[in-house]
Structure 1
């Protein structure tokens, strides 16, 4: 249970703080000795060792305090003695762990004091009726005083979980701030992930287009060419007045005509999947087209003070199309609504429905409509390509609200 895990964390925090303080003393010795060249290796070793202490603190925070903090970028030693020494002394994550060992002392003391003052004192007061008449042990005068102290102890024990949870807030904040990736490293990691997603998305789109053209359009065009060739042979044979061959040729031409129309329809759908023609007239018009085609009544409220870039418009369009499709298939909703605004350099899209709700988060991505599909996972990846965010609020019984936040320019 969370209560006992947090209580265990308040007990281990002072021990880890004491270990960090001991390590800090060694660091100070290394700083003082660094005025001589022989002290630099000691200081460098202390900075690298601080990473191990940081990893232990993150593991405790994740296991006991429920605070999951990503690890910073791995340590990369340089080449040669001077390279290794410079890499260690310049390790930002190691120095941040050392700073954490300094500033966490008041937070650790606060958490331990809260646990001792509520759990410890509460248990002592609750046991007053057991020890107030023990010879040689001072206690309250009479049963009334003992019972009053016992009630006070019960009240402290009742408030203890909330008091400990609140007292751990500074400790949690310090763990998130100092033991995770530095802001610059987190930004670099995000950019690397979004670049990889963009490359994968582009490759997947090319494979999809190639597969659709090869398996669909190319096969139909091949069949069309064969039908026209056979029709030509039948027409040549019917030139002598063979009406049966002429009827056969006419049937082949009719079949080729139907095949041409079907191929054209497939090409139109394929082109629409790459870039919807409705976006040529603006995102508001494209969303109005989606709302009109939806099997459910959709209320559209779209006002854009500035037009987004084409890439952002395309992402917003496909997000809306996928979300409306999920509403129609899985949510059991009777109506839906779309709200679109451009504010503070961001494009904010909200899709609402009055369905059964129950959206959950699976594998780090929301899965909507209670159906557990993978469509929204693809939307999360698509949105992250342009440094956007997708959030889902879907309590059991509904309604479901999906908010997409994108930059106006990508």
Structure 2
């Protein structure tokens, strides 16, 4: 029974500690301390939008908006740290935006950053919320302290307003809505009302701070779907790069190991054939020599199919070597200011080789053109021929395999081949897998 009484008696104490403890003090400090940051952030966001949209017709407007979004991300980081320090609100920051290539590519990447736009929206919404924080703090904590200490203030002549009532009698005391609080019983009622306000103050501040917590989670945190997509993209890029590196290592092992030993074997068989006397041994050495030469030739073709060694010098010389042995006149135009990753170079090379093979086998063309252009963060390969046209994905053309080759890196295949020609096939690839 004593334990039950002690438990019941301890509940108000626990409730009072929860209401007026460390959490209430931290939330009150956050509501007050975040107001200057809210004013600064709102001014920054408003100035950025006004100047950026106002100058959008000029060359400076769009880059200014991009810089503004980067600054909004920085402000968002300040709010996350402040909320984490005072409120214990641990919000995972959004993933950094993926930078584009070139000035306009970087600007476009920043403008397309959803996290930056959400941070800008938070800066605009934070000031009205901060003013609501201030109002709640002043009304509950401020007026609560004033009302609770009113009897003491009256004893020292503070808040003692002299007015006349409706009968013209002078009254000395605090006035609220025409009610004169100039007697001690009324002063004690004011004190009770102040105690009630102070009792409600931590809960009211907690409620408005909870709104800010929700905004921080929604607008300043990382999107789970976006994070998942970014993780999958990074995992896929690593897998593609690892596969390209593995194929390159296999090519080098075959070139420097098995192929070198087969070449040495061919030379030894040649020496044996030349030194052996006429007869079965010499004939057998000649047959083995021919077989070894065929094996070397097949191995070289296999190595070239895994990873052409000419790609080590870059995509431009690799395509130049490809067009030189195409078997028909091919004009090559290449504009690749930034070298793509090895995996993308390999995919682009094999796409060009497959398309040229299709031109030779199926189109009946007299000449062809290959154009490789890099713009921003995309690599576009276009093969054009003056053949009979009618190319479709399927029909033994090798185009389905081409589509499957570029699909893992989000590549796009476009076929424009009307009957009678010309045929234009475009492969669009990212510069980095």
With the length of structure 1 as denominator, give the TM-score of the two structures.
0.44
